[in-house]
A = this chain, B = another copy of it.
Amino acid sequence: MRPTIADVAREAGVTKGTVSHVYNGHRPISAPTKERVRAAAKKLGWVPNANASALAGHHTNAVGLVLHKNPDALAVDTFFPVFISGMQAELSQRQVMLAMQVVDSQSAEERAYRSMAHGRADGVVVLDIHRKDWRIPFLAKLRLPAVLMDVPRDYPGFTAVRIDSGRSMEELVDHLRAQGHTRIAHVSGPLDYVHAYERAAAYVRTIGNKELLRQGDFTAQSGRRLTSELLSLSYPPTAIIYSNNVMAIAGQSYAQEQGLRIPEDLALAGFEDDEICAHLNPPLTSVDTGPAERGRLAAQQLVQVVAETFPESVTAPAPVIRYRGSTEGKSPPGDCDPRDV
């Protein structure tokens, strides 16, 4: 049988309560007793049973992450591994586990959050918030502590980790304009996602109209399709900003197949920078939103929420635009680019 707290207590000549307190520090224990208990635990190879302690105590030492998406998307999108590694940087220090569940329907998602609330995790990090998101009231009802990523405003009872991506969109447009572009398109993500919406809104605000705005769904396929659609306009754009890199890479590859030179004939930029962007040919300009740091902040906030030291919402460090070859070298109209011969 696996050792229980009673075995350790017997071995150390104390009671279960004492052993318990040695491990959670909820009351002072004399040094020699502490030592005896530690020695006994080590000798027997005892670790607290997480289920029993969660059941009795109400802390699981785990945080949850419920992802509503196709498992394949996890493999393609580089945001997740980096975000998760950021979370783990914070969690591994504190020996907190990450309880991850991928679901494929709303009912499964509800069940998953319910089970998190009912003893699986002390709290959750919520990603990909929608503009009208059922999960926020739902989590409130469940009284499940949560950190909301990238919500546009504060929600009572929740803390948030925010990011200002509208600003980056403006900078990107300015940069392209400075290079002489006047027809700048945007391939957005689904506009019911807050992050996609904010980028698109900033785009429309800066450009002044939505003539060249197209709504994609973050997949390579939609990046390709919408690029093709934009390029076959009678008056096509000379620059396209994509709301993520998967779409941008697909767009670049499509444009090159069509014989367009990047950036001379078409400039491209994306959001959610990752290592691949620097290695493309030409390298892709993109916005680094700092996913690792955001993951770390999310975990840090959540740990505090769980500890009942209710933290203020924070804003992640401003995104950084990595300017690369895909937006360089556009000459002002009328000029003649030497490479153009």
Contacts and interface: CB of A to CB of B under 8 A. Distances in A.
Contacts of A108: 92, 95
- Looking at A47, A51, A95, the one whose CB has the most chain B CB atoms below 10 A away is A51
Interface string A95-138: 10111111110001001101101111000000000000000000
A134 to B, nearest CB: 14
Contact-size category for A:
35 or more
Nearest to A58: B51
A307 interface: no
A92 B99 CA distance: 13
Nearest to A113: B47
B49 A114 contact: no
Contacts of A257: none
A13 interface: no
Protomer copies? 2
Contacts of A143: 2
A52 B119 contact: yes
A86 B71 contact: yes
Given A98-B99, A98-B100, 17 more contacts: A48-B115, A49-B118, A49-B119, A50-B115, A50-B118, A51-B52, A51-B55, A62-B99, A71-B85, A71-B86, A73-B85, A74-B81, A78-B81, A80-B81, A92-B103, A99-B100, A280-B281
Interface of A: 2, 45, 47-52, 54-55, 60, 62, 71-76, 78, 80-82, 84-86, 88-89, 91-92, 95, 97-104, 108, 111-112, 114-115, 117-120, 142-143, 249, 275-276, 279-281, 292
